[in-house]
Amino acid sequence: MASANHGDAGLEPDLDTFLTRRREHGEPTMFAGTDTVEGIATARARYAAVMAETALPVERAPELVTEGPVPLRVHRPASEHSGAIVVHVHGGGWVLGGGDVYDPVAQRLADDTRAVVVAVDYRLAPEDPFPAPYDDALAAVEWVVEHADRWHADPARLGLAGDSAGANLAAGAALARRDAGTPAVGTLLVYPPPDFEGRYPSIRGNGEGYFLGAADVVACSKLYLAGTSPTGDTRLSPMRADLAGLGPTIVATAGYDPLRDAGHAFADALTEAGVDVRRREHPSLVHGFLGFTGISATCDAAVAALNTELAGCLGA
């Protein structure tokens, strides 16, 4: 198994056990077989099954909203609502993770931040490749801001959150809100892929054996792009946009993640642009730790800390 500059941090033991078991059972990588229609359906079911196994479960079902431009899943906090609202964009490589798969992640975010969390059920590639997921994320945020009073929320206390592909889309939405003159008061980007044009060492060093592999990154990127050239398009590579004027932004990375170095580069670019960026590095964790709260106390603590920090940005 390759490794890459993890410092003194070893792989978190419970994650090591989980990943070892997957290898011993011959479990395929998350995007294995996605070169066929049948394989994509299988990969979606496989990802949903992993999330159901590894994320802390939730008891409450979300409110489903279908009259907006994009289907939404609304999660209310267990305790008193703070008045803030967060739009959450799920991960899954723009291909996986739709429907109820991310309900545990979004509900946990609502409970930890005491904000209403509106999860965006955006269209998925390859049926709807770029720019459909990007357009859906922006349309959803705009609609939520316009209808925040529906949930007795203050649109001026808007937060954005996403992980992996969802972090890429959330970053694009953050840029759109800034351009509209109403930047989000806090944005949480967990293991983001911010740059389709760059090449980063962790893709090679963490490219095999850590849940998300280099081959997975290539596969989902091809499905999302569907032949579109990413060169010069900041909708695909928000790191290459003018980042000045964004609100406080939390960038969380995992030490054993192919996307780790791209996340570090994004945090550097935000810093250079004068953004209040909070770098939160988790050297013993892997890509996907947001969904591993049910199998790893370390992952659970990391998620709690990130959500609490976003709550601070929201004034919750």
Please state the domain extents for the chain.
13-314
pLDDT band at 9 (very low <50, low <70, confident <90, very high): confident
| Mean predicted lDDT score pLDDT of the chain | 96
Q: What is the mean pLDDT of residues 22-30?
A: 94
**Among 260, 134, 161, 245, which Cα is nearest to 207's?**
260
Does residue 43 register a pLDDT over 70? yes
Residue of 3, 82, 164, 284 with catalytic role: 164
Quote the DSSP letter at residue 113. Answer: H
pLDDT band at 316 (very low <50, low <70, confident <90, very high): confident
> Quick one: tokens of 188?
């949480």
237 flagged as catalytic = no
Does residue 281 register a pLDDT over 60? yes
Q: What is the mean pLDDT of residues 86-110?
A: 98
> Quick one: tokens of 310?
């976003």
Per-residue pLDDT tens over the stretch 163-200: 999 999 999 999 999 999 999 999 999 999 999 999 99
SS3 74: strand
Outline where DSSP puts E strands in the chain.
63-65, 72-75, 85-89, 116-120, 158-163, 186-190, 249-256, 277-286
> Quick one: tokens of 299?
């992952």
Query: What is 127-173 written as a DSSP string?
Result: TS-TTHHHHHHHHHHHHHHHTGGGGT--GGGEEEEEETHHHHHHHHH
> Quick one: tokens of 290?
């947001």
pLDDT at 310: 98
Of all residues in the chain, what percent carry a pLDDT higher than 70? 97
pLDDT at 6: 59
Q: What is the mean pLDDT of residues 90-114?
A: 97
5-14, 40-49, 196-205, 279-288: which range is least confident on average? 5-14
- Rounded to whole angstroms, the Cα distance separating 60 from 173 reads 28
SS3 268: helix
Q: Which CATH superfamily is domain 13-314 in?
A: Alpha/Beta hydrolase fold, catalytic domain (3.40.50.1820)
Per-residue pLDDT tens over the stretch 291-307: 999 999 999 999 999 99
pLDDT at 3: 41
Residue 242: what residue type? D
Backbone φ and ψ of 158, nearest 5°: -85, 130
DSSP bridge partners of 73: 64, 119
pLDDT at 5: 57
DSSP bridge partners of 176: none
Helix axes 132-146, 165-179, angle to 10 degrees: 50
Q: What is the mean pLDDT of residues 74-90?
A: 96
